[in-house]
């Protein structure tokens, strides 16, 4: 855990920054002013109960939803200034659910991540293939490269879309519930992989997580949200406290420490 | 090794290990070599059926005499009847299949084709109305196809505007609106059919079942030109069509201007199919069967699927038209009946397959 970043959110060279962002759908405001700066090489987890606005915040960060007030900056440039293809070369998104309408192989889906780097008439070069190969290898998918995507299990499919996102060679990755449908082994592996990408390539990762234990173990910092507002931002040990979680989740929790790696662990404290 | 070092996600030693396992992912993705081989194969198949269709018909002709002696009746049949007909089958089949493939990307559903989206029904209705009105004026040869073409475009526009919800096109809404319009145009044609005399009723059947009877070289040229223009536009969006199968949001996140691409596909396909319907009527299911067979055989990458649909659609159409001409020779079955006969069961098979996949 040596590379845990020391960003406090106020640094000037953040990879991704939201400044007092308000957003919603129609006349309903979901986010009531969220400020967050994500540094290069940092993993930030967004946690909070259902309906807290985690996914909406992710949509604002990915330019899918325009904020009604406030602004978003990607690599110190307003998000609105990016054109789509440029954005796709800088920012990768992995949605919670992914579907593919027609039969494509795993490799074909991962190669789709190269699209923003290629013109409309060009075939992928050997360099594109090398990048796709690397992304497949990263997520333990090499042996599945030629398989039709719809024959894969939910967890394998998830990894394919994570690999596709990495094939985009982004500077920032937005992951919506990346651990859903994944077993323990793959959760660990995926975060290990992203940690490598963060320290080797300076990738910045923002992930919404339901799993507080995963957030505590793998994130450098945690944004705790409730009802579209930020409750606390900071290192997991400081944000995930008994008082804060009881308040946000409206349920009693027990917080302990994992004796192996020292990460805090969160359990519901209700007596069955 | 420089290319590897530049890559953002690759550890060189990992790449090396996997490179030994799987040299170049043979068969896992589309390469230019695979595309060229496939197209050459399909081209050869087209050549074979085209030669067969030129040789056989309700009247036997001697090809050698026809080619050697330009004053023979064999030659007159070959150049005046057979060749324009085969050429017409080629261009119509190419247009219908490639439009089907593109529309399937547009609505993200393998059940789409020009007929189902109401484009060809509208064109046929326009042609039929023009046929009846123009019979008093004359010049039907020009007025009817032009009216068919214009009506197909209008129908497309109507479908598009109706399916537009809050400035956006939802694939499923579009498909449903298309089906509804198609049924509506069909009903209008039936009402006209029940009030006109026998002579018109026969012509209406021609538009409904589709036919390649007695085409002129001029008609062939018009379909070939509109088809080529549309095809080039579609090909420039082939990669975007691949990305659309991931869903609108995911495609946009990969740099696709989704709404622009949708509109482009819509305009290109309606021009192509409008021109086709205006001369050959509604020939159904070609746009459904051909792209699907090609997908099963060669994968879903639109950079291959679109050109393969052009050649495969042409070959399928030439073969279907040959069957239409010889099954009950010297009489003729409408070619649309042949394609629908193949297509009906196929459509059900597709639907069943989709259902089982949805529930599994």
Token pair for B306:
């679109």
pLDDT, tens digit (0-9, with 9 covering 90-100), for B142-184: 788 888 889 988 998 899 889 888 777 788 888 889 989 989 9
Confidence of residue B16 (pLDDT cuts 50, 70, 90): very low
> Looking at the predicted structure, is the pLDDT value of residue A5 above 50?
no
Question: Shortest CA distance to A79 belongs to which of A171, A168, A169, A8?
Answer: A171
Please provide the CATH number assigned to the domain covering A1-75+171-272: 3.40.50.300
User: Is residue A221 within 8 Å of residue A42, measured between CB atoms?
Assistant: yes
- Look at residue A34 in the predicted model and tell me its pLDDT: 94
Interface of A with B in 210-239 (CB under 8 A): none
Smallest CA–CA distance, residue B290 to chain A, in Å, is 15
pLDDT at residue B360 is higher than 50: no
Q: In the prediction, which pLDDT does A132 show?
A: 93
C-beta of residue B343 within 8 angstroms of C-beta of residue B288 = yes
B contact residues 222-241, partner A, Cβ 8 Å cutoff: 235-240
pLDDT band at B355 (very low <50, low <70, confident <90, very high): low
The answer to whether the beta carbons of residues B150 and B91 sit under 8 Å apart is no
User: Residue B7 has what pLDDT?
Assistant: 42
Q: What is the pTM of this model?
A: 0.85
Q: Is A124 on the interface with B (CB under 8 A)?
A: yes
Count of beta carbons in the 10 Å neighbourhood of residue B167? 6
Chain B residues whose beta carbon lies within 8 Å of the beta carbon of residue A168: 254
A178 touches B at CB < 8 Å? no
Q: Which residue in B10, B245, B236, B253 sits closest to A126, CA to CA?
A: B10
Per-residue 3-state assignment (H helix, E strand, C coil) for A49-89? CCCCCHHHHHHHHCCCCCCCEEEEEECCEEHHHCCHHHHHH
Percent of chain B with pLDDT over 90: 35
Q: How much is the mean pLDDT over chain A?
A: 89
Q: How far is CA A153 from the centre of its chain?
A: 21
Which ipTM did the prediction report?
A: 0.86
Q: Which residue of B has its CA nearest to A105?
A: B28
Measured CA to CA, the distance from residue A129 to residue B262 in angstroms comes to 29
- Would A1-75+171-272 and A89-170 be classified into the same CATH topology? yes
Residue A208 phi, psi dihedral angles, 5° rounding: -80, 140
Nearest CB to B25 within list A103, A129, A203: A129
Two tokens at A136? 């497949």
Is the Cβ of A112 closer than 8 Å to some Cβ of chain B?
A: yes
Tokens of B232: 């080039």
Residue B302's closest CA among B252, B236, B258? B236
Size of interface A-B (CB pairs under 8 A): 152
Mean pLDDT, chain B, integer: 83
Quick check: B301 and A108 CB within 8 A?
A: yes
Least confident of A88-97, B298-307, B332-341: B332-341
Q: Which two tokens stand for residue A271?
A: 């007596």
Q: How far apart are CA A24 and CA A262, in angstroms?
A: 38
Q: What pLDDT is attached to residue B24?
A: 58
Chain B residue with the nearest C-alpha to that of A150: B357
Q: Is B242 on the interface with A (CB under 8 A)?
A: yes
Judged by average pLDDT, the poorest of B227-236, B257-266, B307-316 is B257-266
Whether A21 and A72 have beta carbons less than 8 Å apart is answered as: yes
pLDDT band for position B356 (cuts 50, 70, 90): low
Q: What is the mean pLDDT of residues B329-342?
A: 83
pLDDT at A195 (0 to 100): 93
Enter the CATH code of domain A89-170. Answer: 3.40.50.300
- pLDDT band for B359, please (50, 70, 90 cuts): very low
Q: Closest-CA residue in chain A for B238?
A: A120
Residues 6 or more apart from A61 whose CB is under 8 A from it? A16, A18, A72, A79, A91, A174, A206
Specify the pLDDT at position A140.
Answer: 87
Q: How confident is the model at residue B354 (pLDDT cuts 50, 70, 90)?
A: low
Q: Residue A95's closest CA among A216, A9, A178, A156?
A: A178
Q: Which residues of A touch B29 (CB under 8 A)?
A: 105, 107-108, 111, 124
- Name the 3-class secondary structure at A18: strand
Residue B225 contacts residue A58 (beta carbons within 8 Å) = no
Residue A229 confidence (pLDDT): 93
**Contact A71/B at CB under 8 A:** no
Euclidean distance between CA atoms A136 and B29, whole angstroms: 14
What's the rounded Cα separation, in Å, for the pair B349 and A41? Answer: 51
Report CB contact under 8 Å: A137, B15: yes
DSSP class of residue A123 equals: P
> Residue with structure tokens 């198609």?
B182
pLDDT surpassing 90 at residue B279: no
Q: What angle separates helix B302-326 from helix B286-298, to the nearest 10 degrees? A: 130
Residue A209 gets which letter from DSSP?
A: -
Cβ density class B217-244: b for 16+ within 10 Å, e for less: eebbebbbebbeebbebbbebbbbbbbb
pLDDT in the model for residue A10: 46
3-state secondary structure B117-185: CCHHHHHHHHHHHHHHHHCCCCCHHHHHHHHHHHHHHHHHHHHHHHHEECCEECHHHHHHHHHHHHHHH
Whole-number pLDDT of residue B278: 85
3-state class (DSSP) for residue A16: strand
Using one digit for the tens of pLDDT, what is the confidence trace for A160-196? 999 999 999 999 999 999 988 788 888 898 899 999 9
Lowest average pLDDT, out of A31-35, A171-175, B188-192, goes to B188-192
Helix (H, G, I), strand (E, B) or coil at A205: strand
Identify the pLDDT of residue B21: 47
Return the number of other C-beta atoms located less than 10 Å from residue A14's C-beta.
22
> Three-state SS for A204?
strand
CATH of B99-302+331-355, one of 3.20.20.100, 3.40.640.10, 1.10.3470.10, 1.10.10.10: 1.10.3470.10
Q: For the residues A118-125, what does the mean pLDDT come to? A: 82
Considering only the C-alpha atoms of chain B, give the largest distance between any 2 of them, rounded to a whole number of Å. 80
Q: What is the pLDDT of residue A12?
A: 57
Residue B9: which of A62, A112, A131 has the nearest Cβ?
A131
Supply the pLDDT for residue B139: 66
Q: Is the pLDDT of residue B23 over 60?
A: no
> Which residues 29-58 of A are in CB contact (within 8 Å) with B?
none
Question: What are the tens digits of pLDDT across the range A57-83?
Answer: 999 999 989 999 999 999 999 999 999
Confidence of residue A90 (pLDDT cuts 50, 70, 90): very high
Residue among B273, B212, B195 at smallest CA distance from B86: B212
**Angle A21-A264-A237 (CA atoms, 0-180°, nearest 5)?**
45
Asked if A159 and A186 count as a contact pair (C-beta separation under 8 A), the reply is yes
Residue B8: pLDDT above 50?
Answer: no
Cβ distance B25 to A102 less than 8 Å, yes or no, reads no
Q: b or e along B3-33 (b: 16 or more beta carbons within 10 Å of the residue's beta carbon)? A: ebeebbbbeeebbeebeeebeebeebbbbee
The structure tokens listed for B84 are 């324009």
Closest CA to B252 of A222, A115, A246, A5: A115
Which residues of B are less than 8 Å from A133 in CB distance? 10, 15, 18-19, 25
Cα B191 to Cα B202: distance, rounded to the nearest angstrom: 14
- The predicted pLDDT at position B13 comes to 43
* A49 touches A229 (CB < 8 A): no
The pLDDT score that the predictor gives to residue B329 is 74
Q: Which of A151-165, B239-253, B275-289 has the lowest mean pLDDT?
A: B275-289
The minimal CB distance from A134 to the residues B7, B236, B250 is found for B7
What would the two tokens of residue B50 be?
Answer: 């085209």
Contact A103 B295 (CB under 8 A): yes
The answer to whether residue B21 neighbours chain A at the CB level (below 8 Å) is yes
pLDDT of residue B231: 96
């Amino acid at each position: 855990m040596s590379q845990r970043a020391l960003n406090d959110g106020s640094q000037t060279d953040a990879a991704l920054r939201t400044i007092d962002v308000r957003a919603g759908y129609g006349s309903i405001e979901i986010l009531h002013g969220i400020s967050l700066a994500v540094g290069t090489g940092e993993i930030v987890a967004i946690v909070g109960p259902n309906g807290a606005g985690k996914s909406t915040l992710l949509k604002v960060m990915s330019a899918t939803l325009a904020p009604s007030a406030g602004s978003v900056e990607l690599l110190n440039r307003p998000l609105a200034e990016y054109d789509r293809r440029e954005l796709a070369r800088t920012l990768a998104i992995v949605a919670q659910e992914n579907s593919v309408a027609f039969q494509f192989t795993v490799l074909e889906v991962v190669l789709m991540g190269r699209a923003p780097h290629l013109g409309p008439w060009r075939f992928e070069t050997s360099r594109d293939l090398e990048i796709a190969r690397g992304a497949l290898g990263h997520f333990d998918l090499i042996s599945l490269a030629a398989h039709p995507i719809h024959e894969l299990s939910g967890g394998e499919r998830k990894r394919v879309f994570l690999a596709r996102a990495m094939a985009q060679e982004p500077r920032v990755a937005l992951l919506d519930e990346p651990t859903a449908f994944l077993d323990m082994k793959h959760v660990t592996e995926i975060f290990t992989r992203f940690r490598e990408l963060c320290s080797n390539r300076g990738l910045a990762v923002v992930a919404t997580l339901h799993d507080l234990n995963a957030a505590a173990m793998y994130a450098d910092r945690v944004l705790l949200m409730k009802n579209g507002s930020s409750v606390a931002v900071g290192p997991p040990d400081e944000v995930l406290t008994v008082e804060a979680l009881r308040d946000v989740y409206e349920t009693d929790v027990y917080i302990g420490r994992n004796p192996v790696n020292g990460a805090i662990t969160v359990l519901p404290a209700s007596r069955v | 090794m420089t290319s590897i070092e530049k890559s953002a996600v690759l550890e060189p030693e990992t790449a090396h290990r996997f490179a030994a396992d799987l040299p170049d992912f043979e068969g896992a993705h589309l390469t230019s070599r695979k595309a060229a081989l496939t197209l050459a194969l399909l081209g050869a198949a087209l050549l074979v059926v085209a030669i067969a269709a030129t040789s056989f018909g309700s009247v036997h002709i001697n090809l050698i005499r026809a080619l050697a002696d330009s004053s023979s009746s064999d030659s007159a049949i070959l150049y005046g009847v057979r060749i324009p007909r085969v050429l017409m089958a080629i261009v119509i089949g190419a247009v219908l299949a490639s439009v089907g493939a593109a529309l399937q990307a547009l609505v993200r559903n393998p059940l789409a084709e020009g007929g189902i989206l109401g484009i060809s029904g509208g064109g046929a209705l326009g042609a039929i109305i023009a046929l009846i009105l123009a019979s008093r004026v004359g010049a039907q040869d020009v007025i009817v196809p032009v009216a068919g073409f214009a009506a197909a475009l209008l129908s497309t526009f109507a479908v598009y505007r109706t399916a537009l919800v809050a400035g956006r096109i939802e694939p499923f809404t579009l498909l449903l609106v298309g089906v509804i319009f198609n049924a509506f145009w069909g009903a209008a044609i039936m009402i006209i059919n029940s009030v006109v005399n026998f002579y018109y009723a026969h012509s209406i059947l021609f538009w409904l079942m589709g036919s390649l009877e007695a085409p002129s070289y001029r008609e062939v040229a018009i379909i070939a030109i509109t088809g080529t223009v549309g095809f080039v536009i579609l090909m420039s969006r082939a990669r975007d069509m691949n990305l659309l199968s991931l869903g609108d949001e995911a495609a946009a996140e990969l740099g696709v201007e989704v709404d622009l691409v949708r509109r482009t596909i819509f305009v290109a396909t309606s021009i192509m199919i409008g021109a086709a319907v205006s001369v050959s009527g509604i020939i159904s299911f070609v746009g459904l069967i051909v792209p699907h067979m090609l997908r099963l055989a060669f994968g879903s990458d639109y950079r291959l699927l679109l050109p393969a649909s052009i050649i495969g659609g042409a070959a399928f159409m030439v073969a279907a038209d040959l069957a239409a001409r010889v099954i009950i020779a010297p009489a003729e079955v409408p070619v649309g009946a042949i394609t629908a006969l193949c297509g009906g069961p196929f459509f059900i098979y597709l639907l069943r397959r989709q259902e089982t996949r949805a529930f599994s």
